[in-house]
Structure 1
Amino acid sequence: MRQGFDTRAIHDGQEFDPTTGAIIPPIYQTSTFVQDGIGGLRGGYEYGRSGNPTRSSLETLLASLEGGRRAFSFSSGLAAEDALLRAVLKPGDHVVLGNDVYGGTHRLINRVHGAWGVRNTTVDLGDLNAVEGALATPGTRILWIETPSNPLMKISDIAALADLGHAAGALVVVDNTFASPALQQPLALGADVIVHSTTKYLGGHSDVIGGALVIDDEELAGNVGFIQFAAGAVSSPMDAWLTVRGIKTLGVRMARHSENAQAIAEALVGHPAIEAVYYPGLPTHPGHELAARQMSGFGGMLSVALAGGAPAARRFAESTTVFQLAESLGGVESLIGYPSEMTHASVRGTELEVSDNVIRLSVGIEDVADLLADIEGALPR
């Protein structure tokens, strides 16, 4: 019988050390492996770029949690995305992606791969007719989905989009960073590949940079594995170990992140300083019912638009104390950010531009009363 999520998060890929009985497997901090004669590899390991037992344990764990055949651990989320794009695309190919995709993803596809002849179309993923039209562009190879989206928390119908993508012969990729496998299982909904910035909720402690791909097709996995080996964007043993350590508490952390974010979102609805609250856990959110169907919780990310415009938003972002002003998200501590000049500065002036009155909150697992007091004290009166 398949074990539950939290049990697998703690045990899969984490067998105790057979030599000492240490319940936590050691960190294999090594660059190379001694061979039993030429080509006599122990466990298939020969050099740290091609494989490392600590990285293998993380990859086994990720594949289990996302329900995929293979997983690959990278040095960053964008390194993971880049390897996938290079494994799938050639000059002249076309990518369809959401018009609210993470700015770094758009920059990678549009500017880095665009310079090599890869084309892209951004479209509202909530408009299935528009998506179908974009997928009809000759040479479309990938449909890229991010749900919930960053930073406006739009919810995309993974199953419906997967059907459209497959009908057009496209690979369906889902960035599952915001939800994590604790709250959303894209492969079970029809996706082909899952992308993660493991820096975020999977690591969970703001002390490691990493990325991952989870794939359910052996041929594609082989192509991605070759690109990773040939280009070398692998996670280090220590980074892999830190990510595994974080994943052990993923289920309980995501429950607390979601609980705190829900309380904050509800408290901010109707606040005179707030023009809009973007959180899928609110019944008024346009994607609420869909999120309730395809997710098991609404997550720890929310954004707000300040009624006082950019000046009010900037003052708010610079006035909190428990919420700390910083890039990134998904750690146990709460962070506040100003997307238009931080995470999404690279897409200013494009269709993906984020309004300058929007503030993004990564809600941590602190006492919710302290978080609410911090927000209330920083908002314009």
Structure 2
Amino acid sequence: MYGDGTRCVHGGETEPASGEPFMPGPVFAAPYHLGGSDRLGDSDFYGRSGNPTWRALETAIGDLDGGQCLLLPSGMAAIGTLLRAVLHAGDVLVLPTDGYYATREFVRIELSELHLEVREVPTAGPFPDGVFDGARLVLLETPSNPGLDVCDIAALAERAHAAGALVAVDNTTATPLGQRPLELGADAVLASDTKALCGHSDLLLGHVSVRDEDLARRLVRVRTLSGAIPAPFETWLAHRSMATLDLRLARQAENAAALAEALSGHRAVSGVRWPGMPSDPAHEVAGRQMRRWGGVLRFELRDAEAVRRLVSRSRLVSGATSFGGVHSTVDRRAQWGDPVPEGFVRFSAGCEDTEDLVADVLAALD
């Protein structure tokens, strides 16, 4: 198998042909020519059901995930499509208490008609005996967003499967290069590709990857009938952006490591967490299952005003509620309703020169 960088550059590409571009442009179509009076075989016939531009990127992402990828227009569309495809009225769903808040809101509001039994457990556990009993789906998020706690995917998948439950992992923070949950026993892996995979803060996209053919067909059916489809131009841009994923992640992780070290001893900062630090509580478990470290770290300042001053005094860091882009950003998570202190910061390290970024952040804090 080729390495990460090679697969990012060449994933989903077509056979080279003289005079053709390295990457064909996006296919724009609502209906396609049927070639006669009836649909022929598996050819495309209507844009909501299929598009060759989707399939190219799905091939590339599926190769990184180690499964069959289904592309969707956002990370929440990926979560919603998976939950709609798997859950039935009265099912038991296990969720992280500290995962992405919109997932819990979606379950509470949009799936209320299913009358689900929802059991919430912190990502770092402990997962008590019997928590998976009768469950239909266990949704993990590791490292968690925004707390960066980690759970043991392989051990929890084994327990959940023994209880008859499916396991899905939100892999947004880790990325397909940082972690491969399907190889660790998960039945599905999903991500908001708006973040690191697209990586330039200008696209919304998401995906779900699975290995089970029946589950893949159900996901396709839900996508088709709900109309939760990605636009071809955005898909094409995402595929183009993915070529530099390996390079971007390497610089982001380098910057996150340097920032975590510099901030750990700073008088104005507390609670620095980054799974790549040997001293981090999640480091041991993360080291067993993550293939590389990411560019997201967290820490706490005194209050909301201290976070505001950090952003206003910095010349390189912007305030934004996303992560994984080439620009370094700060997000004060309490403003969105996450149960964290007012000065809690999720910091997304970008691709700036490491020395410049660290100097800028320290100067803004001082």
TM-score category by the smaller chain?
over 0.9
| CA shift for structure 1 position 20 | 4.3
1:309 aligns with 2:303: yes
Once the two structures are superposed, residues 168-199 of structure 1 have per-residue CA deviations (whole angstroms, 9 ceiling, x without a partner) of 11110011111111111111111110111010
- The match for 2:132 is 135
- The match for 1:350 is none
1:106 aligns with 2:104: yes
- The match for 1:85 is 83
1:60 aligns with 2:59: yes
Alignment map for 1:197-276 (pairs within 5 Å): 197-276=192-271
Q: Counterpart amino acid of 2:79?
A: E
Contact 1:10–1:248, Cα closer than 8 Å, also in 2? yes
- The match for 1:37 is 36
- The match for 2:327 is 333
> Which stretch has the larger CA shift, 166-175 or 308-317?
308-317
Alignment map for 1:334-373 (pairs within 5 Å): 334-342=328-336, 345=337, 347=338, 353-373=339-359
Contact 1:58–1:244, Cα closer than 8 Å, also in 2? yes
Q: Distance in 1 between matches of 2:333 and 2:310?
A: 13
> Which stretch has the larger CA shift, 23-32 or 360-369?
23-32
- Aligned residue among 123, 147, 166 for 2:121: 123
Q: Distance in 1 between matches of 2:354 and 2:10?
A: 30
TM-score for both structures, normalised by structure 1? 0.92
Cα gap change, 1:29/1:42 in structure 2, threshold over 3 Å: closer, same or farther?
farther
TM-score for both structures, normalised by structure 2? 0.95
| CA shift for structure 1 position 316 | 2.5
Task: Provide the identity percentage.
Answer: 40
Q: Counterpart amino acid of 2:131?
A: A
Segments of structure 1 that go 5 or more residues without pairing to the other structure are: 348-352
Cα gap change, 1:100/1:357 in structure 2, threshold over 3 Å: closer, same or farther?
same
Contact 1:317–1:338, Cα closer than 8 Å, also in 2? no
Cα gap change, 1:78/1:129 in structure 2, threshold over 3 Å: closer, same or farther?
closer
Once the two structures are superposed, residues 107-158 of structure 1 have per-residue CA deviations (whole angstroms, 9 ceiling, x without a partner) of 111221134312312112333442x43212x4x1111111111111101111
- Report the RMSD for the aligned CA atoms in angstroms: 1.7
Counterpart secondary structure, 2:150: coil
How many residues get paired? 366
Q: Distance in 2 between matches of 1:242 and 1:32?
A: 22
Counterpart secondary structure, 2:238: helix
1:291 aligns with 2:286: yes
Q: Counterpart amino acid of 1:118?
A: L
Segments of structure 2 that go 5 or more residues without pairing to the other structure are: none
Contact 2:51–2:232, Cα closer than 8 Å, also in 1? yes
- The match for 1:376 is 362
Q: Distance in 1 between matches of 2:137 and 2:126?
A: 16
Contact 1:16–1:22, Cα closer than 8 Å, also in 2? no
Q: Distance in 2 between matches of 1:83 and 1:129?
A: 26
Counterpart secondary structure, 2:341: coil
- Aligned residue among 83, 94, 105 for 2:92: 94
| CA shift for structure 1 position 254 | 0.9
